[in-house]
Structure 1
Amino acid sequence: MFKAINAVQIHVSLDKIEPEIWRRLVLPASWNLDELHLAIQAAFNWWNYHLHEFRIGGLRYGDVELLTEDAFDGDPRVFNSRDVHLRDFEEGATFSYLYDFGDSWRHTIVVEEFGAFDVTPKHGSCIDGARARPPEDVGGVPGYERFLEIMSDKADPEHAETKRWCGGHFDPEWFDLAVTDKDVRNALRPSVKRRLHQPKPSQKRD
């Protein structure tokens, strides 16, 4: 008996950072781009404080009212992100997601495959990934590179203050699948709270 497609597997990676920071998610195919936005926020533990948009085939998708208010002359028209669903894409489709127009965290999204589960998924899940995302408001890719330099050099005059700013600890290689999967499963919960800082390892010594 034919099973209807009800899930999609996507790969999301941050642009212009090496080694790659990425997550692999399995989401309900019925979800729209607005719900995909919340899943990405959860997967990377972004705080959802800033504007975002999707770029698909040269078109912009997001909150029409907010993005229109923030638009510059010549910017493409904005379409409602709730009108596009994950099931509308084809396998192999690639598009971009921009979070925080100041820091400009651009993500590349690849639709890897669709699935037909016996039970239609009601929430998303994270099945793989690598590396910690940069701290919020660190200043984009250049700011993140400088942040890593400061954090790796205790003699840097900005080291102590920067360490306090990021919560006392930051490991760029950190990724916990169980924690991230739980975050993604709760992505659509109202008033969901994000961790302000990366969890500290219990055995870490300064």
Structure 2
Amino acid sequence: MTALHSFNEIASMRIELTDTAPLIWREVDVPTSLTLRTLHEVIQVTMGWLDYHLWEFTVGDQRYGLPDNEDWGGLPRRDAAKTRLRDLLTASRLEMVYEYDFGDGWRHRLLINNVRQGKAGEGYPRYIAGQYACPPEDCGGIPGFYHMLEAQADPDHPDH
């Protein structure tokens, strides 16, 4: 992934891994010219995922992903490589869902509240902040993740 031109329109995005407590989150600045396919790559790197599994974005009742992915039901999926973030923005605001690993069901809430011009000399996408490590791949989703944490914290736990 290459840095995009610094004068692009930039969106401040908050990524929250839903159903985690404390909340696992990241903040990134991304060009609105990114395709959703490239935004997927940004989320993978930012969150610490390894890109082993299928994924999709949902905005309202429309799904976006790779058209050759096996259909997991629901409405038809639009091609994420042909949809740019700026095409989905409404008045510089957007809320959408990014799901990664349909088996474990890692749901991320994506929020954009600010769109502005990029700064000269800055490379984007740009990591801004975040808190807490992402769960490991293939740990069984939210229930498996918390079971793993419980087992690690208790030397007498049968799964320790």
For normalisation by structure 1, the TM-score amounts to 0.70
CA RMSD of aligned residues (A): 1.6
Counterpart secondary structure, 1:145? helix
> Counterpart of 2:33?
30
Given the alignment of the two structures, is residue 64 of structure 1 paired with residue 62 of structure 2, yes or no? no
> Counterpart of 2:4?
none
Structure that is richer in strand per residue: 2
| Number of equivalences | 152
User: Aligned-pair distance for 1:14?
Assistant: 0.5
* CA distance in structure 2 between the partners assigned to 1:50 and 1:111 by the alignment: 25
Identical residues among aligned pairs (%): 34
* Partner deviation per Cα, 1:78-120 (whole Å, 9 max, x = no partner): 1001222122213231010000000000000001211212437
Amino acid at match of 2:30: L
Q: What stretches of structure 1 move > 6 A for 4+ residues in a row?
A: none
- Equivalence map 1:77-116=2 (5 Å): 77-88=76-87, 89-90=89-90, 91-116=92-117
Can you give the 5+ residue segments of structure 2 that lack an aligned partner in the other structure?
A: 1-6
Counterpart secondary structure, 1:24? strand
Higher relative contact order (CA 8 A, sep 6+): 2
For normalisation by structure 2, the TM-score amounts to 0.88
Amino acid at match of 1:40: I
Structure that is richer in helix per residue: 1
> Counterpart of 1:178?
none
* Partner deviation per Cα, 1:116-149 (whole Å, 9 max, x = no partner): 1243755311111111111111100111111111
Amino acid at match of 2:85: L
